[in-house]
Amino acid sequence: MSTLGAYFRLARVGWVLVREGVVAALPTQDMPPVVGLIKTLADPLARFRAKKQARSERLTRAVDRLGPSYVKIGQFLATRPDVVGVDWAIDLSMLQDRMAFFPTPLARAAVEASLGRPVGDLYTSFGEPIAAASIAQVHPCMIGDRKVAVKVVRPGVRQRFAHDIEGMYLLSRLQERFVPSSRRLRPVEVTRTLEQTTKMEMDLRLEAAALSELAENTSEDPGFRVPKVDWERTGRDVITMEWIDGVKMNDIQALRVAGHDLEKLAETLIQSFLRHTLRDGFFHADMHPGNLFVDPNGTVVAVDMGIVGRLGRKERRFLAEILFGFITRDYLRVAEVHFEAGYVPAHHDVAAFAQAIRAIGEPIHGQPAETISMARLLALLFEVTDLFEMQTRPELILLQKTMVVVEGVARMLDPRFNMWKASEPVVGQWIRDNLGPKRIVSDLRDGVKAAVKLAEAVPEIAAKTETLHKELVRMAESGLRFDPETAEAIGKAEARHSRSGRLALWVIALSLLYIAFTL
């Protein structure tokens, strides 16, 4: 029945997108002819006023009708321009995660259930909410004479998301089955990533841990910090943190009135992000201006760390080499790194890929640095990776998306901001430390550690190898066999799957016919 329910929910989503004119705005280039036919049939059903609205307004109206889960889904897809395209990613990034407040008594009950103590024992006062999003809302509270921000998870949001994600899985499986060209983007894997990141975002203990980790990493960094966490008053459904008195980074006039140096703030923001990414391999992945404050001392304070990104040492090295190759116009090296990292399938020609990279890099060198658009650069990169069947790397896509957002905030502060010049001190130092002699020492040290671990595991590996050999010999002699219970269970599962699939297809077809003739 869960599959049947997913079909119904997906039908509702489709109908809302049709009614609000979103389907009519979808591109049909390089899509099967049936997609164009569906778009033609859907166009007359769109509301007349929807046709006059910008695409981003249509999206906003549709998502508002669909509810909180789809706000989060839309925001996630905004981080995947490789899946939805750069233009649609920009539109989705404009979705405002602002929802209606839920009653304060429900928030107090959630706090007490999560922390196991009465609200009166935890806080001197518990104020009315001041901000509400799809996952949680924030209350100003007092602990003695100390003001804190208390973030509380929205009641029922986990159950609602669990239902809505079923429709996303169904859609991604249909996409992989009927649109072969999309398989390199791994739609099911994208949906799985969405499910995992959103579940993590719904556990506020993990956000508290991310704030704590970033605070440790940046304790000596100039001009950047995150709020302190009150662990005694933090649980799965509630996080208590330092109240930030500052100006939001998108309030340019207020920043000027407060006397802040906007050019310096832009430089600090970019350099901080690059330090977190290259030095620590751990970065705030939702650094839009609404999550960035400037305190009275001119320090950038980042809040709301529900979404974070991580890069391993190898990924950071590949990233630095690619960046360095673009800067020095060594396009062959950029191409080689893509192959070494396994980003591009080995059957492609390195020289041909280097030629494609050159087509992206040369126009950049022909422009003033302050005019280079990271969004445009990413659009060109995605076109090239499509030609060469480059597999989607979620961690790199999240990094690229965050880089675009951070660059946008910096340019908002300083329209003539030179990202490359501001980045050089951080990137240059990392390259000197990790792509020079120090890299050899580091690689040797890692190699020794790996050799020691391998030596320790040799007896266990030998025992498992012997067991595997015996099993292979037995299978070769008598064949692969299931016990009766396993064979029966497999047969029943296949029968259930076939019946539910046929039933769901008929129900959805009848439902759509009903909609067509009654609306």
Let me know whether 271 and 362 are in one domain.
yes
Let me know whether 298 and 375 are in one domain.
yes
pLDDT for position 351: 92
pLDDT for position 190: 78
Nearest to 166 by CA among 193, 195, 190, 189: 195
Let me know whether 307 and 394 are in one domain.
yes
Let me know whether 172 and 318 are in one domain.
no
Neighbours of 443 (CB within 10 A): 12
Give the structural domain span for 385: 247-435
pLDDT at 312 > cutoff 90: no
Let me know whether 318 and 393 are in one domain.
yes
pLDDT at 515 > cutoff 50: no
Q: At what angle do helices 350-365 and 331-340 cross, to 10 degrees?
A: 130
Distances from the Cα of 48 to the Cα of 11, 20, 21, 216, 519, angstroms = 21, 9, 9, 54, 15
Query: Within a domain: residue 504?
Result: no
Last residue of a domain, one of 416, 435, 454: 435
CA 228, 229, 230, 233 dihedral sign is: positive
Is-contact 410 289, C-beta < 8 A? no
CA 200, 204, 210, 213 dihedral sign is: negative
Query: Within a domain: residue 49?
Result: yes
Q: What is the DSSP letter of 280?
A: I
pLDDT for position 93: 67
Query: Within a domain: residue 517?
Result: no
Return the top range by mean pLDDT from 44-48, 234-238, 335-339.
234-238
- Phi–psi pair at 32, nearest 5 degrees: -60, 150
Tell me which of 91, 164, 237, 286 is the catalytic residue: 286
Let me know whether 42 and 186 are in one domain.
yes
Tens of pLDDT, residue by residue over 156-201, are 888 888 888 888 888 788 878 877 767 767 788 878 877 888 888 8
Can 286 be counted among the known catalytic residues?
yes
Tens of pLDDT, residue by residue over 275-296, are 999 899 999 988 888 889 999 9
Domains contained in the chain, number: 2
Tokens of 472: 């292979």
Cα 331–336–342 angle (5° rounding)?
135
